[in-house]
Amino acid sequence: MESVLSVANTEDQFQLATYKKMPIAAERGEGVWIYTSDGDKYLDLYGGHAVAGTGHCHPHVVNALRQQAGELLFYSNLVYSGARARAAEKLVSIAPPALTKAFFCNSGTEANENAMRMARMATGREQIITFSGGFHGRTADSISATFLGKYRALGKPNVPGHLEADFGNIDSVRELAGENVAAIMLEPIQSMGGVRMAQPDFYRSLRALCDERGIVLIYDEVQTGVGRTGEWFFAGSAAGGGVVPDIVTLAKALGSGVPVGACLVNEAIASHIKENDLGTTFGGGMLAMAAVTATLEAIEMDGMLENVRRVEAYLRSRLREVKQVVAVHGLGFLLGIEFSDNAAAVHKRLLERKIITGTSSNPKVLRLLPPLCLTEEHVDQFVLATDVHG
Ligand SMILES: Cc1ncc(COP(=O)(O)O)c(C=O)c1O
């Protein structure tokens, strides 16, 4: 058994201190549970930053990875691969029908960079409209598209041509949507921004505006994708007014923890992309592809989409009993619980009671991004620990 203190001391000595860490040394995971190096057990309602969609170490994913690791870890896109063919086919098969082609990369920020580049290539224009409160990643173009708190300034000098609109306000978008706008990109539910969602009409109006002015619509579904909302994607969902964008970007839960990102694009976008226009060494590697296929299969086999919808309804009903909760924002298992007071104290108390949750840029909002296999029993445990007056 290794103490948290000794692990933390070594890590702090040799790793750059870029994150404020919880006093936990994660050693093993199973479903919604994280087991620590000193024998403790935590209920994980944060999913390692929304990554553990299938839960920690889902046996179907682990077996697929073991098998693939014994066959071929990696070869680039210069060769065909059964693992890649299966992953691309599976991913496209669960996407809204208009999105017919996948491009694989390694992370969310990279997926967004490639999506913006494709939009510029397809339109011959340069500007990108994104929204206040949105987060799109930390590489140059994505951080320049991120109008949230301190992030954009960290990316200085920013890439030119990024314009900021108000989330949920179509007039603010219309005003900016001039002749040089290539794309409108949004997190359809702003996660880090405090779990903010717009009315279905907003998404419909965005689609109409893009169609009218020849602008590419990009949904950053790095968090909302791969089952988190109780649907495979926010794109095409009833909550989003049935709107299907031209490009959807994915990462996080797509590989159950193996780094992988993707862009799903429609035929119109695909027709503008030629050999060598985009590229990546690691994107589409066999290990990541095996993870994608197994992740999507596991979600299907275990009926996780239905589970998310059922358990979300239960969680919402249970939270009505908690006096300090004033609202529950979001959809499925991307939930922002708004407290009457600062949520940081709740976050701390829950951690003391061995429950991991997340905060957001709204100090009153506690964020939940649990594995899609969370059950009513886990919800009961969370509600009991949350309700100080209960
Ligand atoms: C909505 C959204 N887009 C993009 C990213 C960037 O993804 P990555 O950290 O994999 O680059 C994140 C990461 O938190 C995100 O939440």
> Per-residue confidence of the chain (390 residues) as pLDDT tens digits?
788 999 999 999 999 999 999 999 999 999 999 999 888 999 999 999 999 999 999 999 999 999 999 999 999 999 999 999 999 999 999 999 999 999 999 999 999 999 999 999 999 999 999 999 999 999 999 999 999 999 999 999 999 999 999 999 999 999 999 999 999 999 999 999 999 999 999 999 999 999 999 999 999 999 999 999 999 999 999 999 999 999 999 999 999 999 999 999 999 999 999 999 999 999 999 999 999 999 999 999 999 999 999 999 999 999 999 999 999 999 999 999 999 999 999 999 999 999 999 999 999 999 999 999 999 999 999 999 997 765
Probe ligand 1: pick from 19, 223, 234, 360, max atoms within 8 Å of CB? 223
Is there an atom of ligand 1 within 6 Å of 266 CB? no
Probe ligand 1: pick from 49, 114, 135, 189, max atoms within 8 Å of CB? 135
65's tokens: 């990875």
Residue nearest to atom 14 of ligand 1 (CA): 137
* Ligand 1 mean position, distance from CA 137 (Å): 5
Task: Please state, in angstroms and as integers, the Cα–Cα distance from residue 141 to each residue in 19, 110, 113, 132, 144, following that order.
Answer: 22, 9, 6, 16, 5
Please answer whether residues 145 and 132 qualify as being in contact, where contact means their C-beta atoms are separated by less than 8 angstroms.
no
Residue nearest to atom 4 of ligand 1 (CA): 136
Beta bridge partners of residue 196, listed in sequence order: 190
Per-residue pLDDT at 389:
66
Is there an atom of ligand 1 within 6 Å of 228 CB? no
Is there an atom of ligand 1 within 6 Å of 220 CB? yes
247/270 Cα distance (integer angstroms): 10
Residue nearest to atom 8 of ligand 1 (CA): 108
* Ligand 1 mean position, distance from CA 225 (Å): 12
* Ligand 1 mean position, distance from CA 109 (Å): 6
Per-residue pLDDT at 157:
97
Is there an atom of ligand 1 within 6 Å of 136 CB? yes
71/63 Cα distance (integer angstroms): 13
Is there an atom of ligand 1 within 6 Å of 188 CB? no
* Ligand 1 mean position, distance from CA 187 (Å): 10
254/262 Cα distance (integer angstroms): 8
Is there an atom of ligand 1 within 6 Å of 141 CB? no
315/154 Cα distance (integer angstroms): 37
Please answer whether residues 295 and 59 qualify as being in contact, where contact means their C-beta atoms are separated by less than 8 angstroms.
no
123/272 Cα distance (integer angstroms): 9
Output the pTM of the full model.
0.98
Residue in this structure with the two tokens 């009457």, named with its chain if needed? 340
101/107 Cα distance (integer angstroms): 18
Atom of ligand 1 nearest to the CA of 261: 10
Is there an atom of ligand 1 within 6 Å of 95 CB? no
Is there an atom of ligand 1 within 6 Å of 222 CB? yes
Probe ligand 1: pick from 49, 51, 109, max atoms within 8 Å of CB? 109
